[in-house]
Structure 1
Amino acid sequence: MALKNQEKHNLLKTSFLVHTFVKHKKLCTDDWFQHTENNWLTEDSKQSYKFSRISKFYTIENILDVNRFLQNHSNLIDVILEAYPQIRKYFPTEKLRLKLYVDPESSQWEYLIISICVSPESVDEALNKQNEFDENWWINASLGVAVNLSIDLEFE
């Protein structure tokens, strides 16, 4: 019986991923729409696994947009995963967000932001930690990806 419950849990989890990350293409035929599914997460199980790890580490805002962006910039996935333990060395308990930023003046200019959410009362301490983080890891890690990924402090 426990095996069946585990199988149901896995099925629900898989269904959630499929329904959450499916990109539908609508083909118009009169008043009816025919949906065709294209799901990069189920097509490549390694990518799916990595994206599920990212979602455990970061609160992802606008998840479908982030998903789309990572489809086109898959080189960012490993950097985002590697960033997590590096950030935790300096910010062990702060909430981390991952979101897609779209420039309001040019919708073609977009990039991902990892936000480290810190208290406004600790601005100086947070800035010092960010400088250490940048010097010890991010400056080298950002080579080749900095145009598409930013790691910033967010005061809340």
Structure 2
Amino acid sequence: MISAGQASAWPKFAHILGHDEWIDMPEFQRVEDRVKNRVLLDPMIAEETSKFEKNVLLERLAEAKIAAAPVMTVADVANDPHFRDERSMYTEVTHPQLGPVRITNQAVKMSETNPYVRGCAPLLGEHNDEVYQSLGFTPEEISAWREKGVI
């Protein structure tokens, strides 16, 4: 993701991509022009940015003070030290059928109240008896339903 549409960022971005001529093109001079002509501009930008190694482009954009961030795959996020280690975005729980499973941890981190993952999501129907009983049905009624194939 690159945010280079602003008047101050556009010339720097065009220069980084090696296309100073884009700066003076009437189709791209103002923000409104670039938005209006994005069907023309987007493929041009895609072609030029694809020529860069991701980290090299991100470095150049950062040096030019152009806001940018990589679009990450699930694997990228899962293996990123910031998310994995510093933010503790993953935790391990024991699944009743699969055994130990790594899942997403709580995203919100608070200084005094730290939410945590209590376990896996329940299996289909795992808490049915508790729910039926909380609605006032007896274990005998629930068993009868099970025998009749109702549940």
| TM-score (norm: length of structure 2) | 0.23
Larger Cα-atom Rg: 2
Larger strand proportion of the pair: 1
